[in-house]
Chains A and B, each alone.
Chain A
Amino acid sequence: MARSFAFWSERPGSAGPSRVYLDYGGLSPVDPRVVAVMRPFLEGGVGNPAAPHSLGLEARASLDGARAKLARLFGGAPGGVIFTSGATEANNLAVKGVLARAAGRHIVTSTIEHVSVLNPCRDLEKQGVSVTYVGVDGEGRLDPDDVAAALRPDTALISIMAGNGEIGTLQPLREIGRIARARGIPFHVDGVNAVGRLPLSVDECGIDLLTVCSNDLYGPPGAGALWVRADVKLAPLILGGGQERGYRSGTENLPAIVGMGVAAELARAERAAEAARLARLRDRLLHEVLARVPGARITGATGEARLPHHASFVVPGVKADSVLLELDLRGVAASSGSACAALTGQASHVLRAIGCDGEAAEGSLCFTLGRWTTAVEIDFVIEVLPPIVERLRRLGP
């Protein structure tokens, strides 16, 4: 890899790495190759893409270059890319933007979507839109037949995530896409976690709208995109100068967008090898934690049905917060459920949906691996986690 991060490197003479970062799902470092390309766009000499002078023209060319690079990652037409401030905005735009133009007043989504899909749906419910939240099985997988059964004559949108950030489960997008296509209903996919890690093609999966996140591809935070098929009717959420073909006004965040384009290109080139490498590390972590932590269970699916960089567990008898604190003291950064879950003490909506309630869900641990994750780091977690759990269990709740 281009550079090893100083604070994640091995500390000479110590028992393990000084810092183990396994929260790529929370935030990923920006790839140094991306930073290098972004630098001139931050340091000057570039105009506003809408400007009439030559610097504006160059900016416009850079913007369209990024559009083409991003679209190539998932096989979409470049003209369908609408750059946004991130995946949250893209999800909001997909849900609210489609419903604003549709005659139908019904949405089909799942119980385990990201809150940036669920909350716009709930907001629309207040305005009289009805929403069917299709349930999942114990591994968090949707049955395409359940999606088909939820459809109504007035269904205006199907919105299903590609891969869940909390339990790692992938959804049967092709099957759902076929159902959507047969019924002529726009199909939105929140592609965060999956785009750039899996060979996802909008045509093969019948996707009409796709949410992509820059930082998820090791691009800068603060950028994202909604890709929209040409025949989908959409209304903008943000009005102003008519940038992004009128679907997202506001001067484009050109440094971040250019960075996102490079990140997409790198992801496309390195995806297959990197996904296989991470899946091996993931499986080692999953397997060893199950073997060494009594009672631990994997949440979500396994093998091919799981995001390659994602390992998650419930550990009965311990609070996730306590384990995470202990891991942090040993230099390991990982995560648990949602902010909401931490505040209210409830299991997150995802864990409830897969039937992990109450005590079991308090022990939910989520490790997300990434481009700079090494076998040394995984081995370190495998070493330190079992005694932490054992000690906390001895201390009691």
Chain B
Amino acid sequence: MAAVVPDRKIDCVGLFCPVPILKVREAIAALAPGQTLEMVADDPAAEADMKSWAARTGHALLAIERHGTVVRFLVRKTR
């Protein structure tokens, strides 16, 4: 995928479930449909939580990239 420049970035490193998901939900609410959000986290549960959250809410999880212990998620707001 061509590099997407996220409209908003949030840093959840050091935080644990459910805080990263809460922050994503909050940030997504403030975006317009079509805009993207980057979230970085190092909670091992974050990946499963983000996948599940995206499936539940219908927002598009564009990328999951692992950089050492930190995982970067890219989400597009769909509606």
Chain A positions within 8 Å of B, measured between CB atoms, are 115, 119, 122-123, 125-126, 338-340, 343-346
Contact = CB atoms under 8 A, between A and B. Distances in A.
A343 B53 contact: yes
B32 interface: no
Interface centre among A119, A123, A344 (most CB of B within 10 A): A344
A123 B41 CA distance: 12
Contacts of A338: 18
B56 A125 contact: no
A126 B69 contact: yes
Given A126-B42, A345-B52, 13 more contacts: A115-B16, A115-B17, A122-B16, A340-B17, A340-B18, A340-B21, A343-B18, A343-B21, A343-B25, A344-B18, A344-B52, A345-B53, A345-B56
Contacts of B42: 126
B1 interface: no
Contact of B49 (A123, A125, A126, A340): A340
A243 to B, nearest CB: 27
Contacts of B16: 115, 119, 122-123
Interface residues of B, number: 17
Nearest to A120: B16
B38 interface: no
24 contacts: A115-B16, A119-B16, A122-B16, A122-B44, A123-B16, A126-B69, A338-B18, A339-B18, A340-B17, A340-B18, A340-B45, A343-B18, A343-B21, A343-B25, A343-B53, A344-B18, A344-B21, A344-B49, A344-B52, A345-B55, A345-B56, A346-B48, A346-B49, A346-B52
Task: Please report whether the interface of chain A is mostly helix, strand, loop or mixed according to DSSP.
Answer: helix
A124 to B, nearest CB: 12
A339 B20 CA distance: 12
Nearest to B42: A126
A339 B45 CA distance: 14
Nearest to A346: B52
Contact of A344 (B43, B53, B69): B53
Interface in B41-70: 42-45, 48-49, 52-53, 55-56, 69
Contacts of A126: 42, 69
Shortest 4 CB-CB distances between A and B: which pairs? A340-B18, A345-B56, A344-B52, A119-B16
Contacts of A346: 48-49, 52
Interface string B7-45: 000000000111001100100000000000000001111
Contacts of B17: 115, 119, 340
Contacts of B48: 346
A343 B43 contact: no
Nearest to B48: A346
Nearest to A341: B18
B8 to A, nearest CB: 19
Contacts of A119: 16-17
A99 to B, nearest CB: 17
Nearest to B57: A345
Nearest to B15: A119
